[in-house]
Structure 1
Amino acid sequence: MEIRKVQVTGGSSYVITLPKEWIKSLNIKKNDPLGLMAQPDGTLLITPKTTGEKMHRTKEFSVDTIDDPEYLFRLLVGAYIMGYSLIVVKSDKRIPPFVMECVTHFTQTAVGPEIIEETMNSITIKDLLNPVEMPFDKTIRRMYIILKTMHEDAVAALKNKDKQLANEVITRDSSVDRLQWLIARQSNVVLRDVTLSKKMEVTQEEAMYYFLMSRIMERVGDHAVRIAENVPLLIDENIGDAVVSTISAASTLALDILANSMSAWKKKDMKAANKNMESIKQLGSYCEEISNSALQIKGRSSISLSYIAESIKRTGEYAGDIAELVIDHLVNE
């Protein structure tokens, strides 16, 4: 750390010299504008970025040694989440068909990326999304609505013996995933670009807070899928109305805990978040009753019931994690 003394000129202006190495590295000239931003911790950020333009970063992938579409897809998602604005997929030969299919699937799944250039041996993907147009809180609300209906419909599929509805729940999981990727990307970009955090009116701490919440909500969505995956196996078996009724009651309670956690988040209510966590004990009793019912049933239905009971319980526990996260965040305000 360099220590510089503050000078006073004209009796009212405070002046400090800037490191020569820093000036040269950024090619700053006389009369060039610099942005000054006071940080919450008392530090002062000095930046040559005064226009608020998005930081551009490029990531290149050579597919000459890649023959696994799933691996390539994970690489593309990873580059997207880490905040790269341009992703170039290239090959010394002609781009294989599976690569084009993978890239197309990626652009159709993630929010923002589009193919802007394509040749025989390269594909260029650019993120066209303006981060300011997708605030963190709105994305979190969208995630909540989607996963809530997923969970409700998974249980409704069991009650109404509707296999098609159960399958629809499974397909909706990609909608939750793509929103979670978006929040992960936005948070990484904000952590790298403080000027963007000012533009989005969110601190870097808040960006991390939203990221942690989105991860928890993604897992809630995963458990809705797990319930839906086990519903068709139970539809073919007669597990009894009493068991279905218990599952429905447990599901309702789990979703109530989740709704109360989200309400505490919106209202910034620490007491409500704390009170909500106490409801998890009651949910455990319901799930234990379902598990005991599973012991009385033979075959694969017993295993499916156990999976459903566990997923409902985990849904409530994750809702409790959100409430705890809300408390931790509000304590720091």
Structure 2
Amino acid sequence: MYAKIDDGNMSFTRKNRLKNEEKVLESRKVQVSAGGSFFVVLPKEWSKNIGLKRGGRVNVFLEEDGSIRLVPAEAAKEYQKAATLLVDEKTTPRSVDLFIKANYMSGCNIINIESKKRIEPELKKAIKASASELIGVETAEETSDKLSLRAIVDPTGFPFNSLFRRVSSLSLSMFNDSVRSLRENDFELACDVVDRANEAMKLYRLMVRQLMLAHSDRIIAKNLGIEHTNECITLAILARDVSRLIYHVSNIANQVKEILRVGITFNEKLMGLLFKIFATTRWMVENTYKAFMERDVELASQVMNRMKEIRDLDEEVTAGIFETVEDIHTAIRLTAILREVRRVAGHAVAVADDTIFNETVRHH
């Protein structure tokens, strides 16, 4: 299995680096034309290496730190970033799935899966299944030995805050319905929650892709509503924490499914303790999202402070399980739910911490 990445029209930044890579700084005197315009002479070798020619045009950007960046106009046009994976009989569907999703999230437009012989039908099915878990990806070309995927999603069509609202609303509804399915013994609702996790993960992958594109292009960043490109790092951390929160909410629903499938029952007192920790966790999830959207550092701090309450309730519920539940299988399922709820609360705290960190970055 072999992989390569090609940055297409952006190749001047990676393929044609300065021959002497250590020579990255030149001092030039600012001159003034007869008309009063300022100009500087660009280093000859640098100009050649990035493809500048006499009469050519450059785009000029004023950076956030006060520096000025020049980019050849041709390079500023839309480019195709491609990734290629050469597969063989030893290649597993899992490794191909990881390759496709990682390159989609990194901002690739084209993802090629190729073989020197032919791609096995089962592997092709796996490739198409992976593509179905990504927003805006279609099959661009298919032969016996090659399958090309193309990302057709317009990055500017999905502002980051809009994506975050969708993900946060979806994950909160998943948590609420997981609790409701347990309270109302609704097996189908628990199954529905698990299914919704797939949609939430699609949105997460798109969020990361948007952030990667925004980090490399200030214009895209502005169109996505990201004021400072250095926010992309903290927002990527936040997206990751939200994805982990969703994962553990899905696990709660899976545990509820098993409890309902085998008909496990438990006493009213224990049920009351469980729903108490559910309520506290729900408050934390709802308000950690609200804190981020409203840039409310104080509310984020309140979310973090509620973690002690979760720990205390965790001890109380655990003690209740050992005191009142005689069946070992019931005890295992209940402690598994409790563990996942605690982890959901923990990731709500992580999102709150990300909010505080992001506001710090924004103000520096």
Which TM-score tier does this pair reach, normalised by the shorter chain? over 0.9
Unaligned runs of 5+ in 1: none
Runs of 4+ in 1 over 6 A off after TM superposition: none
Do residues 212 (structure 1) and 237 (structure 2) align? yes
Q: Distance in 2 between matches of 1:121 and 1:185?
A: 28
Tell me, yes or no, if the aligned pair for 1:139 and 1:179 is still in contact at 8 Å: yes
**What one-letter code is carried by the residue in structure 2 that aligns with 1:303?**
I
Question: Given residue 127 of structure 1, which amino acid in structure 2 is its aligned partner?
Answer: A
Partners of 1:103 and 1:209 in 2: CA distance: 31
Give the distance between the partners of 1:85 and 1:295, measured in 2 at CA.
Answer: 54
Distance (whole Å) between structure 2 residues aligned to residue 105 and residue 268 of structure 1: 38
Measure the CA separation in 2 of the matches of 1:250 and 1:131.
39
Partner residue of 1:315?
344
Q: Does the 8 Å CA contact 1:86/1:126 hold for their aligned counterparts?
A: yes
Which deviates the most, 59-68 or 122-131? 59-68
Q: Is the 8 A contact 2:303 2:348 kept in 1?
A: no
* Cα distance in 2 for residues equivalent to 1:327 and 1:194: 23
Q: Deviations over 1:36-68 (max 9, x none)?
A: 111112222111147954331111111224442
- Give the structure-2-normalised TM-score: 0.86
Determine helix, strand or coil for the equivalent of 1:111.
coil
| SS of the residue 1:204 aligns to | coil
Aligned partners of 2:359 and 2:103: how far apart in 1? 32
Query: Match of 1:216, as an amino acid?
Result: D
C-alpha root-mean-square deviation of aligned residues, in Å? 1.9
Does the 8 Å contact 2:197/2:247 carry over to 1? yes
Which shows bigger deviation, 116-125 or 163-172?
A: 163-172
Contact 1:52–1:195 at 8 Å: present in 2 too?
no
Is 1:124 aligned with 2:151? no
Q: CA deviation at 1:164?
A: 2.1
SS in 1 for 2:230: helix
Please give the TM-score of this superposition, normalised by the length of structure 1.
Answer: 0.93
2:93–2:123 contact (8 Å) kept in structure 1: yes
The answer (yes or no) to whether the contact 1:61–1:89 under 8 Å persists in 2 is yes
**SS of alignment partner, residue 56 of structure 1:** coil
| Distance in 2 (alpha carbons) for counterparts of 1:9 and 1:304 | 78
Residue number among 261, 265, 286 corresponding to 1:259 in the alignment: 286
1:107: which partner in 2?
A: 131
Which residue in 1 is equivalent to 2:305?
Answer: 278
The yes-or-no answer on 1:30 pairing with 2:54 is: yes
Q: Which runs of 5+ in 2 are unaligned?
A: 1-24
Contact 1:173/1:221, CA 8 A, preserved across alignment: yes
CA drift of 1:210 comes to: 2.1
Paired position in structure 2 for 1:15: 39
For these two proteins, the number of residue pairs brought into alignment is 333
Aligned position for 2:270:
243
| Aligned position for 1:184 | 208
* 3-state SS in 1 of match to 2:238: helix
Corresponding residue number in structure 1 for 2:358: 329
Match of 2:97 in 1: 73
The separation in 2 between residues aligned to 1:4 and 1:65, in whole angstroms, is 57
Q: Cα offset for 1:192?
A: 2.8
Q: Percent identity?
A: 23
Distance 1:233 1:26 in 2: 60
Indicate the residue corresponding to 1:222 in structure 2: 247
